[in-house]
Amino acid sequence: MVCIVEGGDPAPQISWFRDGVEFDSETDPSTYQEVLQNTLVISALDRSFHGNRLECRAVNNNVTDPPRLGKGNCRQLMHFFKKKKETI
């Protein structure tokens, strides 16, 4: 999953959170000026992710909370759920 942010002064810190706890804050190397991205790769997706909420936040200060959904969306939300068993 990729979180891309353009602009910001100062440049924002982009982090992924798992159920509200910081999970990955390593920003990818920049290819374009003023465009930052953080790519989240989960190489071993297992049952521990069931029902978890993953979100990306871009913050460029410690004064205000990052925007919420519906107000300048800066978050990607992902929910993981077990696939229901099909009956025939």
| pLDDT digit string, tens, across residues 11-57 | 888 999 988 899 899 888 887 888 889 988 888 888 888 888 888 99
Average pLDDT over residues 55-81: 59
In terms of C-beta distances under 8 Å and separation of at least 24 residues, what long-range contacts does 38-47 make, across chains too? 38/2, 38/3, 38/14, 39/1, 39/2, 39/3, 40/1, 40/2, 40/3, 40/16, 45/80, 47/82
Structural class in CATH, domain 2-79: mainly beta
Q: Give the predicted TM-score (pTM) of the model.
A: 0.66
- Domain range summary for the chain, segments of one domain joined by +: 2-79
Q: Distance between CA atoms of 47 and 73, rounded to whole angstroms?
A: 29
Q: How confident is the model at residue 8 (pLDDT cuts 50, 70, 90)?
A: confident
CA contacts within 13 A on the Cβ side of 33 = 0
Q: How confident is the model at residue 76 (pLDDT cuts 50, 70, 90)?
A: very low
